[in-house]
Amino acid sequence: MKILKISGCNLNSLRGAFTVDFESPPLRDAGLFAITGPTGAGKSTLLDAVTLALYGRAARYGAATNPENVMSRHCGECSAEVEFEIPSGRHRATWSLHRARKKPDGAVQAARRYVYDANGTVMADQVRTADECVEKLTGLDYDRFLRSVLLAQGEFARFLKARDDERAALLESLTGTEIYSALGALAFEEHARRQAEIEVTRQGLDSIVLLGEDERRTRENDAASVRDEHGRLSGELAILQAMVDRAARLETAKGAHAAAHARLEKARANHAAAASELARLQRHAETLPYAADLLRVEESDRCAEQADRDREQARAALDSATLEYTDALLTALESGERLIGIRTRTRDDLKLQEEKLRKELTEQQSWIDAHSQDEGLAGELPDIARAMEGLIALRRSEAEIRTRRCQRVIECEKLTASVDATAAQLTGLEAEHAGLVAETTRRRECLNGLLEGRPTAEWEADRESSEARLREIDAMLAAEDLRRRNAEALAMRTARCRQIEDELAKAQGAKKTAEAALAAALREAESASTALEEALLVANLAVHRSALREGVPCPLCGSREHPSAGQAEASAELEQAKARSVKARAAHHGAAKAAADGDKTVAVLASQAEAAQTAFEEIGRAIAAADESRRSAMDRAGLQEGADLEAARADAARHADGIRLRLKDLRAAEDSLRDQESLVRTKQDDVVARRARLAADRTNLDHLAADVVAAESTVQAAGHAVADAIARLAPRLEPFGVAVPDPDREDDLHKALSARAHAHRQTRQLRERLEKDILKARADLQNSENAIRDLETQMAPLRRERTSLDPSLVESRMAVVRRALPRDDSATWTTEHVTSARSNVDVAQARYQDRQETATKARADQAALTAALGTRLAGGSFASVSDLK
């Protein structure tokens, strides 16, 4: 596979369209090149374009078959295309992806893939078929392609770590050496088959039993008999083969005879056909004197037939024109009758509509007379609305003022209660504060008693000192225990060293003994080997002597006489030499093993002795270090040599525990005092806050009382303003039969008056529109009656023409016409089509009469010519004109 061109658009950092053509310079002339550039330049994107076009996937996005992240940001579509060449030719693979409506914020749609051949023919147009097509063309699926052709960043290890069978299959596919694997398999199968044949042959050879002399002669005689019989049968077979050859030649001759006979029959048939054709041609030659007359007769026949056809066509045209005229007339009559019915119904509907409009006009006029008082309401309504708005504003202002006054009264009452409650709480808080101060004083005195005149830091120092002394004593006890264990180990190591030294001396003595035995065994083995070689030489010569034959030269001396050939010496000396050699080798082997075991034992014991000595020295150093550490610890603890460490540790532990308990009590007392002081401060803050709040509430209460007094005078002024507005509005509402509404009902009154004014205005407009509609309906009614009279006048002549038509034709065509007319009232009526159809009938009638006269004349001419030719034929070889034709 060879990649020829890479193209793409909007892939990762490569925005816009790009193309890399490997068939153009300088890439075409470069045997090897590298893809380089800074991070984000698009190096890996070129490789992604290759895998996207071929397999619809990119290595960096894993197994995703629709890698939308490969699309450049703020783009609505992207694509990749690769042109490649394989032995079968050039191909092109494409991949594309886009968002909905190709907008950057649209949803990602399914990817599209195509594979084309060199002619541009589509080989695959779906994702699955494209994968199968590419794998079939290149011989590589996606995983193999990544492990061989395109190793992505960090993926080279995948190829190296693949199993042997996977690498072998991949390399065979890449190098085209699959045939060698096939040859290897065939060679292995052939080898197995040949081995099986050899085994069968070997088993057959093993099963062969050598024959005796008598049986061999018998078998040879049988073989001679079989050879004679074979010769006789071969002669007979030759004779039979000759007979078979003659039979084959006979069959060939029969086939040739049959073919010749078939050709003869075909020739006879051709001869008969030729004779018949000759007779026909001779008969035809007799007609030549009458050819001109016969041509005139045939021409007259054709003219007569053409005239008949023209006449029939004219007749058909006349019938068609008549039928069209009938349909046009019936259509005009039927549509006219329907139109008359429609216009009659329209006239009746217009009469009913006029009566209905007059009745409705009477009703509207009665309503206007009944509500005459609302005649001027529309003009007064704006002034009434303004007055109502002023009244509503005054009432709303009065209500707000009264609400604020009530709120001030309520706030004043609440604040008074709050002041009383705050004063009571302040008294309780002051009492609680005094109790907390007394408790704080008591706890401080308790803490001073625990301190005993010393600060807490001194107690902490005593605790640390006692704990340090306790740790020193524990260290001395541990050092004493370690020294004791080291002394015991030193004694054990000393005893083990002595034991190893004794075992080493014994092993060295055994080693020397084994080395001496090994030297003796070696000498004995060498002697036995020499004796065995001499005995074997003698034995080999004895074998050669037994192989000598009288008259045959000796291979050593060339003599043909062998006086000692039959004298075979005894092999007792050879057997003795072999036994001695075996015994000597066994002794040498045992001695060598014993010497080796001795060396190992000496080496092991020497190593153990060295390790024991090293351990002995380490234990001694550890004991000395432990003694030094113990003396230093006793000096730090202030103890004399030989003091009772256990008793000293118990005293130090008791002292440390006492100090720890005292410190625990001190910390608890200090924590309690701090908590109590915090409570005192918190309570003091509460007392101060409550006092400040009480003073502020009393000040606010004085301000609220002044606001309540001011609100009373404002409420009275607002009440007077509302009363004046009601007095001004009442005279305006009285003519319309309504009074000033209660509060919160002003909108209802305004809506009611607006509805009354609107209803009066709508009714007057409706009366005017009804008067216009009545005038229009009266005019439409008159027009409808005039149209009906005009239509009846036009329909009268059509009805008279209908009486002149064939009744059966009219009846049959009426059903067709009615089906053809629309079922609704949309049909239009005109007589132009009837006039045109009547004209077509007249033309068709004239043409038919002309064709009828022409046909009659042509038939008369044809009869005259035929009679004249018949007269000439009388007494000749032709019986009639038909026979002549």
The residue among 106 and 503 whose pLDDT is bigger is: 106
- What is the predicted pLDDT for the residue at 569? 47
On whether the CB atoms of residues 795 and 379 are closer than 8 A, the answer is: no
Q: Give the 3-state secondary structure of residue 655.
A: helix
Question: What mean pLDDT is predicted for residues 173-183?
Answer: 62
Q: Are residues 327 and 245 in the same domain?
A: no
Q: Which residues pair with 20 in a beta bridge?
A: 6
DSSP 553: P
d(CA 113, CA 52): 9
123-132, 558-567, 753-762: which has the highest mean pLDDT?
A: 123-132
On whether the CB atoms of residues 99 and 77 are closer than 8 A, the answer is: yes
Domain membership of residue 850 as a residue range: 292-370+763-871
Q: Are residues 318 and 260 in the same domain?
A: no
Q: State the chain's maximal CA–CA distance in angstroms.
A: 187
- What is the predicted pLDDT for the residue at 641? 54
What domain count does the chain have? 4
The residue among 304 and 22 whose pLDDT is bigger is: 22
Q: Is the pLDDT of residue 58 over 70?
A: yes
Q: Is the pLDDT of residue 137 over 80?
A: yes
- What is the predicted pLDDT for the residue at 382? 67
Q: How many CB atoms lie within 10 A of CB 410?
A: 11
Q: Are residues 275 and 299 in the same domain?
A: no
CA 140 to chain centre: 22
Q: What is the mean pLDDT of the chain?
A: 74
Q: Could you write out the DSSP letters of every residue in 706-753?
A: HHHHHHHHHHHHHHHHHHHHHHHHHHHHGGGT--PPPTT-HHHHHHHH
Q: Are residues 621 and 535 in the same domain?
A: yes
Encoded tokens for 76: 């609505």
Name the pLDDT band for 759 (thresholds 50, 70, 90): confident
Residue after which a domain boundary falls, among 285, 303, 329:
285
On whether the CB atoms of residues 504 and 654 are closer than 8 A, the answer is: no
d(CA 335, CA 318): 25
Is residue 421 assigned to a domain? no
Three-state SS letters, 36-75 = CCCCCCCHHHHHHHHHHHHHCCCHHHCCCCCCHHHECCCC
- Give the residue carrying structure tokens 């040599």: 641
Residue 828 sits in a domain whose CATH number is: 1.10.287
Q: For the segment 486-537, what is each residue's pLDDT rounded down to a tens digit?
A: 667 667 767 766 776 677 677 667 667 766 776 776 777 677 667 666 666 6
Residue after which a domain boundary falls, among 110, 139, 168:
139
Residue 19 sits in a domain whose CATH number is: 3.40.50.300
Q: Which of 88-97, 158-167, 310-319, 760-769 has the lowest mean pLDDT?
A: 158-167
Helix (H) or strand (E) holding 325: helix 291-370
Is residue 518 assigned to a domain? yes
Q: Are residues 6 and 129 in the same domain?
A: yes
Q: Which of 81-90, 352-361, 705-714 has the lowest mean pLDDT?
A: 705-714
Q: Are residues 133 and 271 in the same domain?
A: no
Q: Give the 3-state secondary structure of residue 885.
A: coil
- What is the predicted pLDDT for the residue at 89? 92
Q: Is the pLDDT of residue 319 over 80?
A: no
The residue among 272 and 822 whose pLDDT is bigger is: 272
- What is the predicted pLDDT for the residue at 154? 47
Q: How many CB atoms lie within 10 A of CB 146?
A: 20
Q: How many residues does the chain have?
A: 885
Q: Are residues 297 and 281 in the same domain?
A: no
Q: Which of 11-20, 39-48, 54-63, 365-374 has the lowest mean pLDDT?
A: 365-374
Name the pLDDT band for 567 (thresholds 50, 70, 90): very low
Q: For the segment 6-40, what is each residue's pLDDT rounded down to a tens digit?
A: 999 999 889 999 999 999 888 888 778 888 888 88
Q: Are residues 265 and 365 in the same domain?
A: no
Is residue 346 assigned to a domain? yes
Measured between alpha carbons, how far is residue 872 from residues 293, 301, 477, 640, 876 in Å? 10, 19, 173, 185, 8
Is residue 9 assigned to a domain? yes
- Give the residue carrying structure tokens 């009486």: 803
Of the candidates 843, 848, 841, which has an alpha carbon nearest to the alpha carbon of residue 308? 848
- What is the predicted pLDDT for the residue at 130? 93
Pairing, β 2-11 against β 14-21: antiparallel
Q: Is the pLDDT of residue 732 over 70?
A: no
Q: Which of 44-48, 186-190, 318-322 has the lowest mean pLDDT?
A: 318-322
367 HSE (CA, 13 A, CB side): 16
d(CA 258, CA 263): 9
Q: Which residues pair with 220 in a beta bridge?
A: none
Q: Are residues 25 and 80 in the same domain?
A: yes
Phi and psi, residue 99, nearest 5°: -95, 170
- What is the predicted pLDDT for the residue at 645? 61
Residue after which a domain boundary falls, among 264, 285, 306:
285
Q: Is the pLDDT of residue 176 over 60?
A: no
Is residue 655 assigned to a domain? no
Is residue 428 assigned to a domain? no
Q: How many CB atoms lie within 10 A of CB 572?
A: 9
Is residue 30 assigned to a domain? yes
Q: Are residues 491 and 639 in the same domain?
A: yes
Helix 164-175 / helix 178-207 crossing angle, nearest 10 deg: 110
Phi and psi, residue 392, nearest 5°: -65, -40
Is residue 551 assigned to a domain? no
Q: Is the pLDDT of residue 143 over 50?
A: yes
Q: Are residues 525 and 585 in the same domain?
A: yes
Q: Are residues 321 and 343 in the same domain?
A: yes
Of the candidates 380, 432, 428, which has an alpha carbon nearest to the alpha carbon of residue 738? 380
Of the candidates 490, 504, 510, 491, which has an alpha carbon nearest to the alpha carbon of residue 610? 504
Of the candidates 89, 122, 131, which has an alpha carbon nearest to the alpha carbon of residue 2? 89
d(CA 745, CA 395): 12
Helix (H) or strand (E) holding 757: helix 746-803
Question: Strand 112-116's sheet: what is its strand order?
Answer: 14-21, 2-11, 77-86, 89-98, 112-116, 122-124
Model pTM score: 0.27
Encoded tokens for 472: 């020193």
